[in-house]
Chains A and B, each alone.
Chain A
Amino acid sequence: MLEIKNLHASVEEKEILKGIDLKVNAGEVHAIMGPNGSGKSTLANVLAGRPEYRVTSGEALYEGKNLLAMAPEIRAREGVFLAFQYPVELPGVNNTTFLRTALNEARKYRGQPEMSAGAFLALLKKRMQLVEMADTLLSRAVNEGFSGGEKKRNEILQMAVLEPRLAILDETDSGLDIDALRIVANGVNKLRSKDNAVILVTHYQRLLNYIVPDFVHVLYNGKIVRSGGKDLAMELEEKGYDSIKEKEEAASAIQ
C-alpha cells in the first residue's frame, strides 16, 4: 500500500528526515517510535502533504502512485488520513458541515453520489458511538473549546467517517487520560481491517497496549534505526530511548 524509499525532508532549510525506508501493506499496523525531535511527526506530516515540509529526495508510492506529487486534498480523497497531534480549532466552522463537506469531496472524487444531509447525519450518529462522543459536539465549531481528549476523539471520528485506507495517527495518545485513551484506541481497533493500514506515531509504549502493532520501528535522528515486532516496544519501555541513542552515537563515532 505504501512504499517509502530513501525519503529526505527539510523544514526551513533544516534536514529532518535523512533517508527513511518503510513498507506498509494492507491490513498492517506499524508503530513509529522514537525520542523527541527524531522526526516522527515530520514523517507523518510529509506523508499528509503539509506545505511547510520540503521533500528533498526519495519517494513515497501509495498504491503505486506518486504520493508526494499530490496536493494534500488529493491525498485525502485517495484515502490517506492524518490524525493531527494538535488538532486545529476552526471557530465558526460547524463540525457537522465540515465533516459532510469532507466526505462528499471524497465521494465526488471517487465518482460516488454526494450524501444528503439526512443520510449523512445517520452515518455520523453511528460513527459517533465508536468514539463515545456527545451529540452536543456536533453542533459546535470544529474543535473550538474542545478539551484535549475531545479533540483527539474528534480526529478519530473524522477518520471513522472518511474511512481512509491509510491512517496516520500522530501522537494521538499524547495528553489523553486513561479513559480517553481507551476510547480512542477502541475506535481505531474497530476501524482496522484487512484492507486498510495504520501508522501510529507515538513516543510512549502505552498506546500499543491498546492498539497492538504488527511492526515497531524506531526513528532516531531522521532515520529508522531499528525495526521489530511488538516486543520491541516493550524493550524500549524497559530500557528507554537512551540505549538507542548511545548505540547510534557509538556507531557514528566509529564511522
Chain B
Amino acid sequence: MADTSQIKGWYLSLFKDFENHLNGEKSSSFHSVRKQAIDRFAQIDFPDTHQEDWRFTDISPILRHTFSRADKEATAIQTKGQLSRFQFNGMKSRLVTFVNGSYLPELSIQLPLPEGAVIGSLADALKNRNDAVSGHISNDASVGENAFTALNLAFTADGAFVYIPDGTEIEEPLHLLFISTGPGEFISQPRNIIIAGTNSRVRIVEHYVSLDGGTYFTNAVTQIHAGENSSVNLVKIQSESLNAYHIATTDASLSGNASFVSHSLSFGASINRHDLNVGLKGEGSDATLEGLYLLSGNQLSDTHSMIDHVSPHCTSQEHYKGVLDGKSHGVFNGKIMVRKGAQQTNSYQENRNIILSSEAKVDTKPQLEIFADDVKCSHGATVGQLNRESMFYLRSRGISEEQAKLILIYAFASDVLKDIKEEEVRTQLENDLSERFLAPLK
C-alpha cells in the first residue's frame, strides 16, 4: 500500500483552514457532524485496489495532487458571460449555478416558487435551518463511509438544496450547474440535498462542466429523499475536463410508491467513479437507472450501483452502456440486494459494452444477493462488437463498413438518451454524440 499519510495531512490542514473561515457557523449543530467526519477521515485510508469495491479503480493519481479550496469571488468574475455555453438551448429552467463548489446567485435564474418550496444553496439552508439540514445529512447511512464521502461531509459548506413540499409539482426542470475553473488546482465538494415530499414531482439536471479544461477534483455527494408517491427524475451529466477527477456518490431513498428515474451520463474526467445507491424502502416504489459512459484515451470510468430492495412489491430496471476506445477502462459493478421481506420484487439489470480498440477493456460484474423467495431478478452483461445483422443492413444500402460502425455506435449510445424527459437536454446530448461519432461522415 502506498503511503498516503502526507496527502491525508494535506487535507487535514485544509480542513483547519476551512474551519478558520467558517466564523460563527463553527458553533452550529452541524459543525459537530463535520468534525466527526474529519476524525473518521483521519482514521481511515483512501481506498486502494486491494479493496474489492476499488479493485479495478486505482485512484492514486488523485492523491498526487494537493488540491486547494478556490476563492469564490475571483472565479465568479471569469465565469460571467460564459454561462450560455452550458445552458440548454431553449430550455426554460431554474438555474442554480456553482463555481468551484460555491453557489453564485448572480449566475443563477430563480423563477417564482410554489408556496413552501425551496430551491437554492445548501449554504443558505445551513444558515436558515441548520438543525433540520443537519439531521437530514447525518441520518443518511452511507455518508462518510469511505475516505471520499468522509472528506465531502467534513467540508460540507455548499451545494444545491431542494425542498419540494407535499403535493407540489415543480414544472420547470432544475438545472444544477457545477462549473470548475482555474487557474490553480482546486477541489470542489458539493453536497446536494433533494427532498421531495409526498405526491410531489420534480425533474433535475445535475451538470458538471469545466470552463477551461484544467486539472481539478470534484468530490460530490447527492442525497435524494423521494417521499410517498413522489416522482423524482434526475439526469446527471458528467462533462468534466479530461484532466479532472470526478468522484461522486448519489444516494436515493424511496418511500412507498415513489418513482425515481436516473440517467447518468459520463463523458469527461480522467478518473470517474460514481457510486449510485438506491434504497427501495417503501412498498411499491420503482427505480429506473439508465447510464452511459463514453471513454477514450486513458480515461477510467467506474460505476458502482447498489439497488437495495427493502420492501415488497418494488421494481427496478437498470441499463448501463459503455463505448470504449483507446486505452480506456470501464468498470460496472451492479449489485442488487433483495432483503428478506422484499417479496414480489421484480428487478432487471443489464450492462452492455462496445469495445472499439484492442487496448480498451471492461470489467463488468453483476452481484445478486437474494434473501426472499418470491422474486424475479435477472441480469445480463455483454462486452463485444457491433451487431452483424445491423452492419449488413447498412452496408447493403451502400454505406461503408467504417461508416456503418460509426452509425451503429451512435445508435447504441443515443439509445440511452431516448427516455430523457427534457427535450432540450436530450437534443443537446444527441448533438454532442452526433458530433463525436457522426462528424467524420458529414
Contacts and interface: CB of A to CB of B under 8 A. Distances in A.
Interface of A: 48-52, 71-73, 75-77, 81-82, 84, 87-88, 90-93, 98, 101-103, 105-106, 109, 141, 158, 162
Contact of A90 (B388, B395, B396, B411): B411
B397 A102 contact: yes
Nearest to B409: A92
A144 B401 CA distance: 22
B423 to A, nearest CB: 13
A47 B428 CA distance: 41
A88 B390 contact: yes
Interface stretch (B78-86, B146-154, B412-420): B412-420
A77 B396 CA distance: 9
Q: Return the 10 tightest CB-CB contacts between A and B, nearest first.
A: A92-B411, A76-B398, A88-B393, A102-B397, A72-B395, A105-B398, A92-B414, A73-B395, A93-B411, A77-B398
Contact of B397 (A51, A52, A76, A109): A76
A184 B91 CA distance: 42
Contact of A92 (B392, B399, B400, B410): B410
A76 to B, nearest CB: 4
Contacts of A49: 395-396
Interface in B406-442: 407-408, 410-415, 418, 441
B52 interface: no
Given A51-B388, A88-B389, A93 B399 contact: no
B398 A162 contact: yes
B400 to A, nearest CB: 5
A50 B392 contact: yes
B396 A76 contact: yes
A91 B430 CA distance: 13
A72 B403 contact: no
Interface residues of B, number: 25
B389 A76 contact: no
The CB with the most chain A CB atoms within 10 A, among B407, B412, B415, B418, is that of B407
Contacts of A48: 396
A162 B410 contact: no
Nearest to A143: B393
A162 B403 CA distance: 18
A81 B398 CA distance: 9
A73 B400 contact: yes
A221 B415 CA distance: 42
B276 to A, nearest CB: 24
A198 to B, nearest CB: 16
Given A84-B393, A90-B393, A93-B411, A73 B399 contact: yes
A77 to B, nearest CB: 5
Nearest to B411: A92
B400 A82 contact: no
Interface in B365-407: 388-390, 392-401, 403-404, 407
A186 to B, nearest CB: 22
Contacts of A84: 393, 396
Nearest to B397: A102
Interface in B137-179: none
Contact of A91 (B395, B403, B411): B411
A30 B395 CA distance: 25
Given A51-B388, A90-B411, A92-B411, A73 B398 contact: yes
A102 B403 CA distance: 10
B441 A101 contact: yes
B398 A106 contact: yes
A109 B399 CA distance: 11
Contact of B401 (A71, A77, A91): A71
A24 B413 CA distance: 43
A103 B399 CA distance: 9
Contact of B418 (A76, A92, A98, A101): A92
Contacts of A109: 398
Contacts of A73: 395-401, 404
Contacts of B418: 91-92
Contacts of A51: 388, 392
